[in-house]
Amino acid sequence: MRRATGLLLAVAALTLVVLASLALGARDIAPGVVLGALVDPTGSTDHAVVLDQRLPRTVVGLAAGAALGLAGAVMQGITRNPLADPGLLGINAGASLAVVLATAVLGVTSPSRFIWFALAGAAVAAAIVYGVGAIGREGATPVKLALAGTAVTAGLTSVITLLLITDTDTIAAYRRWSVGSLAGRDLDTVVALVPFLLAGAGLALVTARALNLLALGDDLARGLGQNVHLARAAAAGAVVLLAGAATAMAGPVVFVGLVVPHLARPLTGPDHRWLLPYSVVLGPVVLLAADVVGRLVLRPGELEAGLVVAVVGAPALVAIVRRTKVAGL
């Protein structure tokens, strides 16, 4: 009962954040005008702002936030590491390198054209990390995945830095994408990535019971009949689809995947059957709230959502590290 009530409250919070995302921004628009734009658009300037700018970034925030929150919860379950996030599989670094190469080699500069390069780069990097981590008789253990992810991320980051310092034009295009933003993305971007998001979400939710067993340790999970390697590979595939699609949409937004599971865990406990749905709802709450705050603090300008999340997420990370109960995943 407590978990169901908490989930309903989280949905209510998400509804409020969505309304704020549609109503608030650099331009003052009355709530009645916002409603009119959604139900009976007239083509006025205010309606165009709502439909062409605020609605697409709200939808992008919903999709990317849900994907990052869910991917973070799954990633922490795979590695049994409370400080793990989707970037640990090299997803952010792989997507970033693909975007840099697309810009430097092919001259691609539009965020809407980055999505396929970013998604492909994330998938390749995650495959390398998982392949390296799976070497050996024990297969892909949490420690080996973490070490392989750290090594691959460090290597890719060095290549990115090398490319950027030798090409100023690439730096300008990459900088706008790399901060993590919901602005400048259209609904076509979300539509193109919906199949990846749905496949990743479905795969993640299916692995909830397996993640509960993996949390008991590999030996006990095997003793209870769980195929450890298959469960871990399926969960890793879900992370790649979710985080890869989110990064392709909004750029490498950090901390959402790390913090959201910790916001949910006090209510859900370690049970992934509840933790995953909570993360789906709380992820967009965090990302959209950061986007709304970013629009209001420097009016008429704005801060990118990725920067606001990072500013808030750093103290949250410190708080997580200081907590004594985080090991009880």
Mean pLDDT of successive 10-residue segments in the chain (329 residues)?
A: 88 94 86 87 86 91 93 87 75 83 78 76 84 76 79 87 77 70 80 89 92 86 85 86 84 84 88 94 93 85 82 74 55
Model confidence, pTM? 0.86
Say what the pLDDT of residue 38 is: 87
Residue 237's identity, in one-letter code, is G
Q: Is 60 exposed, middle or buried (0-12, 13-18, 19+ CB in 10 A)?
A: buried
Say what the pLDDT of residue 111 is: 62
Structural domain boundaries, residue 249 = 1-323
Q: Would residue 4 count as lying in a domain?
A: yes
What CA–CA distance (Å, rounded) separates 50 from 152? 41
Say what the pLDDT of residue 244 is: 82
Q: Would residue 328 count as lying in a domain?
A: no
Say what the pLDDT of residue 40 is: 85
Q: How many separate domains does the chain show?
A: 1
Q: Which long-range contacts (CB under 8 A, 24 or more apart) does 316-323 make?
A: 316/255, 316/259, 316/262, 317/83, 317/255, 317/258, 317/259, 320/82, 320/83, 320/258, 320/259, 320/262, 321/83
CATH number at residue 49: 1.10.3470.10
Of 220, 223, 80, the closest CA to residue 142 belongs to 80
Q: Would residue 329 count as lying in a domain?
A: no
Say what the pLDDT of residue 102 is: 84
Query: How far does CA 106 lie from the centroid of its chain?
Result: 27
pLDDT tens string 214-239 = 888 888 888 888 888 888 888 888 98
